[in-house]
Structure 1
Amino acid sequence: MRETAWRVEAYRSMDVYVRTLLRRQAGPGPQAAEGQGGLWGYEARVCQQGADPSDAGDTDLLSSGAGGFATRHAAEVAAFVAGYGLVDRLLGPLE
């Protein structure tokens, strides 16, 4: 499994950390070099802004589970959507 670097975005005073995971490599060709093909998953972490995302006590972790995505980009978008959804559930509706 190949992991990409963590990306972070601020959302509603929380940090959403995301990284994609290549679970199954595509066959040789130009698509594999561009992050397409194969099976991609994700991990997302949500914590207070400025907190250490590796501290399990201050972090909620999400994973794509056994499912997967056809491209790295699709996995990354899904990870941020899942992270934002968790923040919304933790903080409640916007007023």
Structure 2
Amino acid sequence: MPSKLVSAESFPPGEYLRDELSERGWTISEFAEIIGQPSQVVSEMLEARVKVTPDLAQRLSAALGTSAQVWLNLEEAYRLHTRTHGT
């Protein structure tokens, strides 16, 4: 009998960002200055209240040494998961 497929849980990009900030020892204010955004934008991203836009993805990638696509993919996967699973 085939097993039921269960989709993987998806996390908001802010959870990944929180880990990165912690690993690097950066505060929200420091990171906001690095990416040229207000601290409120970073705080709202950490709380999944602001979406990762292409501009924000480019800023994140430049600061963290990732690709912008990584952040856009995380955002899209999270939004799709929340629409599908109502979380």
The TM-score, its normalising length taken from structure 2, stands at: 0.28
Query: Larger % of strand: which?
Result: 1
Bigger RCO of structures 1 and 2 (CA < 8 A, at least 6 apart) = 2
Q: What TM-score, normalized by structure 1, do the two folds share?
A: 0.26
Q: Which has a greater percent of helix?
A: 2
